[in-house]
Amino acid sequence: MKYLFLLLFVFAAGYCFAAAPDTIHIHFGLDKDELRNTEKALLDGMVYEDSINDRKEILIVGYTDYLGSQEYNIGLSERRAKAIYRHLVSLNIPPENIKMVIGKGEIARNQPQNGGYATDRRVDVIISDKKKNSINTNKTPEPKHAVATAGKKLTDINVGQSIRLKNINFLMGRHVLTQSSIPTLEELFKTLQDNPTLKIQIEGHICCVPLSAYDAEDEDTYEPKLSENRAKYIFDYLVSKGIDKSRMVYKGFGRTKPLIYPETTPQDEDQNRRVEVRVIEK
């Protein structure tokens, strides 16, 4: 039995390393929040093979299937995420490298099935290299909190300054805009259309996750780059209206540049959950 378990460990770990994935899915039993031996072996193997190490940053996101109440599932998904956290720390992964440990609750399903979906009883471990602050491939101005005075128009501000797009609202945890945001996008489109030499950078920012975290997970794509996807949504909208791609770039800054910290009220969160447009050429 001991040798069978070792063989299983080598096989599971070897398959995982060969694929070199950025996201590892750790599955749990029905209504369980304890790691099974096979899943522990997979994580142990990744640390042993240096796929997870002190040069990586990690996001841990827990889920459940739709069985059970919403409140219960949130708690269960959080316990599953914390189980992964504890195991990685026990393997000497520095706690400061683990940038997010959250439970997202149940994964919605349009077609329920008896017994739920076993694939939804999981934790996603998202692994990435530490970012280097010196890299700036787009060669566009980095934000320096040069936000223009409230009420100014995009055409009135200097190169390097930005304005916040008012009345831009996204669906919670998603990169999709609400219908009430369309008039603001139409105003931005009209400004770019009327000023053909104007070039901009669209910048997404989020709230409500640890200050050290790069970004939050996008529930539409399951990627840990919600702010970038929101900025890209506006970029794609303007391209679809006929604005040339060469006049725009987009970036997500996640949680790295809050206007207010700490957030103590919903108004504080709203200030940080924003999209800014920065002038890069006039």
CA dihedral 253, 215, 269, 168 (to 10 degrees): 60
Q: Answer whether 81's CB lies under 8 Å from 100's CB.
A: no
Same domain for 175 and 275, yes or no, is yes
Same domain for 270 and 164, yes or no, is yes
Q: What is the pLDDT of residues 74-90, one digit of tens each?
A: 999 999 999 999 999 99
Share of the chain above pLDDT 90, in %: 36
Same domain for 75 and 163, yes or no, is no
Same domain for 207 and 272, yes or no, is yes
Same domain for 86 and 13, yes or no, is yes
**Confidence at residue 198, expressed as pLDDT on a 0 to 100 scale:** 96
Choosing from 112, 129, 146, the residue where a domain stops is 129
CATH at residue 163: 3.30.1330.60
Structural domain including 273 reads 154-281
Same domain for 189 and 102, yes or no, is no
Same domain for 172 and 225, yes or no, is yes
Same domain for 159 and 61, yes or no, is no
Same domain for 159 and 275, yes or no, is yes
Same domain for 69 and 175, yes or no, is no
**Confidence at residue 53, expressed as pLDDT on a 0 to 100 scale:** 86
**Confidence at residue 264, expressed as pLDDT on a 0 to 100 scale:** 79
The pair of three-digit structure tokens given for residue 61, joined into one six-digit string: 């996101």
Q: What is the pLDDT of residues 25-34, one digit of tens each?
A: 899 999 999 9
| Residue at 138 is within a domain | no
| Residue at 256 is within a domain | yes
Q: Answer whether 266's CB lies under 8 Å from 156's CB.
A: no
Same domain for 276 and 180, yes or no, is yes
Of the candidates 257, 240, 150, 255, the residue with the CA atom closest to the CA atom of residue 209: 255
Total of domains in the chain:
2
> H helices within the chain, ranges in order?
2-19, 37-48, 70-90, 182-194, 226-240, 266-272
